[in-house]
Chain A
Amino acid sequence: MPEQVFFALEAAANGLMTGVLYALVALGFVLIFKASGIFNFAQGVFALFAAMTLVGFQNGQIPFAHLINAIFGTSLHHFGWNMPTVLAILCTMAVMVLLAFLVERWVLKHLVNQEPIILFMATIGLAYFLEGFGDVMWGADIKKLDVGLPQGMSSAIDEATYSLFGYGFFIDRLDVVAAVVAAMLVVALMLFSQFTKYGRALRAVADDHQAALSVGISLRFIWVMVWAIAGFVALVAGMMWGTKMGVQFSLSLIALKALPVLMLGGFTSIPGAIVGGLIIGMGEQLFEFSVGPLVGGATQNWFAYMLALVFLVFRPQGLFGEKIIERV
């Protein structure tokens, strides 16, 4: 086979791996949208905030150090100890649950029965707030996140493909780990929603709010739970992306990439989020590989949105979404 084909294959494989990471963010969107009909724009900032908090705990940073320094003229920055990774992850998880609780308590509760677009705007406001809050709490500098995930080129894949095709593929080990974690997460979520009491309640709420209420399911508890799960998914996504490119503001822009993924897969479908992520990830890599050099490169910035746009014109509900039925 000619070399170009191998290059294309390698780009596609790497695209698939990136797609898994997109899918991870998209998963959080789908969960919240299914359970509460809210399109949570803040999901990306959730991931950023989770990653920041994790790094902050690990390095023993003092929260709000900048603010305290500005007010009292002190120069605090670190506690002077490092937290073990597992403990830090647990603490971050606790913070995300608390966040979910507060969001329900202070925001969602007051916006019940508002139009979806108002709720959407509220999540944009939440995204802004949380972004500022994270920066005030932990500082806005780019941080390195290391939770012990393997990184660098995977030599096993390199050797295997070399012996097969005579050309070694370059694939980051982190991407492989991310793919495995994403798969595990999806399976765990499926099991949870199929076989546990709360999972069934969750599906009931997703199906019909009123009917769920009438059989005694607490809507508010389910919402807190769903936002907490979305927070957990955000934490996982934040860990992966944070390890890959450092914890910085651009993490929250990844979330925007998850939007076309959702549009492609349909807002209400978990498998859709995964398949959409894979299509987008692979599509943008291949497009950049084949067309990018002709038009000046960096086509990843917009290709996903254009693909989703063109796709939606032909199938407005996405690949796996429920058919949109409208009545007067």
Chain B
Amino acid sequence: MFYREAGDFKTSYRDDAQTFPIAFDRLRYYLVLAVALGVIPFMINDYWANAVIVPFLIWSIAAIGLNILMGYAGQVSLGTGGFMAVGAYATFKLMTSFPDLNIVIIVVLSGFITAGVGVLFGLPSLRIKGFYLAVATLAAQFFLIWLFNRVGWFYNYSASGQINAPERTVLGIAVTGPASPPWAQYFICLFFVLVVAWMARNLTRGSVGRSWMAIRDMDIAAEIIGVNPLKAKLTAFAVSSFFIGIAGSLFFSVYLGAVEVGEAFGIEKSFIALFAVIIGGLGSIFGSFAGAAFMVLFPVLLKNILVNGLNWPTDLAAHIQLMVIGGLIIVFLILEPHGLAALWRVIKEKLRLWPFPH
């Protein structure tokens, strides 16, 4: 009824190529933006910011990054945690070495540093593929964590081996450190989410994105029709690591504030990002958001029900959470291998015909 292309006449190429071609989608998008910018900042409190919204935003960035690598370029990576650690430690070193530098610039620079490291670990992808590559990225995960754990220069030789984010301000408002208000943390994360999502969307539908998808679908065929695999694979690793680095940087500086590398960026973080991408849907920006929301919200929800609702011990709840997440992943893969994004696509198709499906 309301969800139609019919009657919405495009009169320029610009209109024709827009991200949301259907008027209702556009409206919905602006509505979400309005709520995100105009409503949530006034409602947010410490609990919601810390437990739900800020981690959701940060994991969305990480999931978009991993989705570019896995969903668009078809290169499996289990090194997300390690690359996030690179972003975090780059931020720490930049923050402590250049105290006057704006935090936004620091986060972006950390992204670039992570991109460099990502390209380095992406080089083997030119020779090895599939599972072999997945295992090779484990090398990045374990090596990077070990490096940040053992080499004192990275944590400024602090006695505990931890890194702590000093207070930094944007426009006079603290966004890192213990004194920062939740809405400021929320805004800085939201800013990066919007930039990253906009970049990812436009990269993936441009020529770079098409070359990634060609490589994903069949790399030899892509090479024959003139896609340079070196360029395509390394740009995918660079862009993906750039986003993941930003996510790691925010995770450390805005969200956690103090980080012990093995605990904060261990292999289970790689799996969270991986599950977010799988559950959300490979090769979909919306899917990255949906998957991240699922992976952040679901444990909070389950914990609330089991521990606060039924008064079960926390360790039992944690084990049941593992079971349920593992089980749900299998169920998702069986019922809908293309994730929540595919579900959403089906709903949209149905909506288009509703209420006269024949």
Q: Which residues of A contact B (CB under 8 A)?
A: 39, 66-67, 70, 106-107, 110-111, 114, 116-118, 120-122, 124-133, 135-136, 140, 256, 259-260, 262-263, 267, 295-299, 301-302, 305-306, 308-309, 312-313, 316, 326-328
CB <8 Å contact, A259 and B135: yes
Expressed in whole angstroms, the Cα–Cα distance for A263 and B78 within the complex equals 15
The 5 closest A-B pairs by CB, nearest first: A129-B326, A132-B322, A128-B326, A125-B329, A132-B323
- The listed residue with most A CB atoms (<10 A of its CB), out of B143, B218, B322, is B322
CB <8 Å contact, B146 and A301: yes
Closest chain-A Cβ to B321's Cβ sits at a distance in Å of 7
Is B178 interfacial (CB 8 A cutoff)? no
Expressed in whole angstroms, the Cα–Cα distance for A301 and B261 within the complex equals 14
Whether A140 contacts B319 in the complex (CB less than 8 A), given A260-B135, A301-B142, comes out as: yes
Closest chain-B Cβ to A32's Cβ sits at a distance in Å of 13
Closest chain-B Cβ to A139's Cβ sits at a distance in Å of 9
Is B316 interfacial (CB 8 A cutoff)? yes
Q: Which of B139, B312, B325, B333 contacts A128 (CB 8 A)?
A: B325
Binds A, one of B46-54, B126-134, B247-255: B126-134
Expressed in whole angstroms, the Cα–Cα distance for A128 and B146 within the complex equals 24
Q: Which of B139, B315, B327, B333 contacts A129 (CB 8 A)?
A: B327
CB <8 Å contact, B330 and A126: yes
Closest chain-A Cβ to B104's Cβ sits at a distance in Å of 33
Expressed in whole angstroms, the Cα–Cα distance for A125 and B323 within the complex equals 9
Interface residues contributed by chain B, number (CB under 8 Å): 49
Contacts of A107 in B (CB 8 A): 330, 334
CB <8 Å contact, B326 and A130: yes
Is B138 interfacial (CB 8 A cutoff)? yes
Closest chain-B Cβ to A234's Cβ sits at a distance in Å of 17
Contacts of B328 in A (CB 8 A): 125
CB <8 Å contact, B132 and A132: no
Contacts of A121 in B (CB 8 A): 274, 278, 329, 333
Is B151 interfacial (CB 8 A cutoff)? yes
CB <8 Å contact, A126 and B326: yes
Expressed in whole angstroms, the Cα–Cα distance for A296 and B131 within the complex equals 31
Is B95 interfacial (CB 8 A cutoff)? no
Closest chain-B Cβ to A56's Cβ sits at a distance in Å of 15
Expressed in whole angstroms, the Cα–Cα distance for A296 and B319 within the complex equals 35
CB <8 Å contact, A297 and B150: yes
CB <8 Å contact, A312 and B325: no
CB <8 Å contact, A326 and B220: yes
Contacts of B221 in A (CB 8 A): 328
Expressed in whole angstroms, the Cα–Cα distance for A313 and B350 within the complex equals 48
CB <8 Å contact, A70 and B312: yes
CB <8 Å contact, A305 and B322: no
Whether A298 contacts B329 in the complex (CB less than 8 A), given A129-B322, A305-B135, A309-B136, comes out as: no
Whether A132 contacts B319 in the complex (CB less than 8 A), given A308-B135, A313-B128, comes out as: yes
Whether A306 contacts B131 in the complex (CB less than 8 A), given A121-B333, A127-B326, comes out as: no
Expressed in whole angstroms, the Cα–Cα distance for A39 and B130 within the complex equals 11
Could you list 17 further interchain pairs (A-B, Cβ under 8 angstroms) beyond the known A70-B313, A256-B138, A298-B146?
Answer: A107-B330, A111-B334, A124-B275, A125-B328, A128-B271, A132-B324, A136-B319, A140-B319, A259-B135, A260-B138, A260-B139, A295-B150, A297-B150, A305-B143, A308-B135, A312-B128, A316-B129
CB <8 Å contact, A124 and B274: yes
Q: Mark B103-131, 1 if CB is under 8 A from A, else 0.
A: 00000000000000000000010011111
Q: Which of A70, A133, A297 contacts B316 (CB 8 A)?
A: A70
Q: Mark B220-234, 1 if CB is under 8 A from A, else 0.
A: 110010000000000
Expressed in whole angstroms, the Cα–Cα distance for A28 and B312 within the complex equals 36
- The listed residue with most A CB atoms (<10 A of its CB), out of B139, B150, B310, B334, is B139
CB <8 Å contact, B138 and A305: yes
- The listed residue with most A CB atoms (<10 A of its CB), out of B129, B132, B134, B312, is B132
CB <8 Å contact, A128 and B319: no
CB <8 Å contact, A328 and B131: no
Is B337 interfacial (CB 8 A cutoff)? yes
CB <8 Å contact, B326 and A125: yes
Q: Mark B139-154, 1 if CB is under 8 A from A, else 0.
A: 1001101100111000
Contacts of B295 in A (CB 8 A): none
CB <8 Å contact, A328 and B271: no
Contacts of A309 in B (CB 8 A): 124, 136, 139
Expressed in whole angstroms, the Cα–Cα distance for A118 and B320 within the complex equals 24
CB <8 Å contact, A313 and B127: yes
Closest chain-A Cβ to B82's Cβ sits at a distance in Å of 10
Expressed in whole angstroms, the Cα–Cα distance for A326 and B325 within the complex equals 36
CB <8 Å contact, B131 and A39: yes
Expressed in whole angstroms, the Cα–Cα distance for A118 and B329 within the complex equals 11
Chain B residue nearest to A66 (CB atoms) is B316
Contacts of B189 in A (CB 8 A): none
**Can you offer 7 A-B residue contacts whose CB atoms are under 8 A?**
A66-B313, A122-B333, A129-B325, A262-B135, A306-B139, A306-B143, A309-B139
Closest chain-B Cβ to A76's Cβ sits at a distance in Å of 14
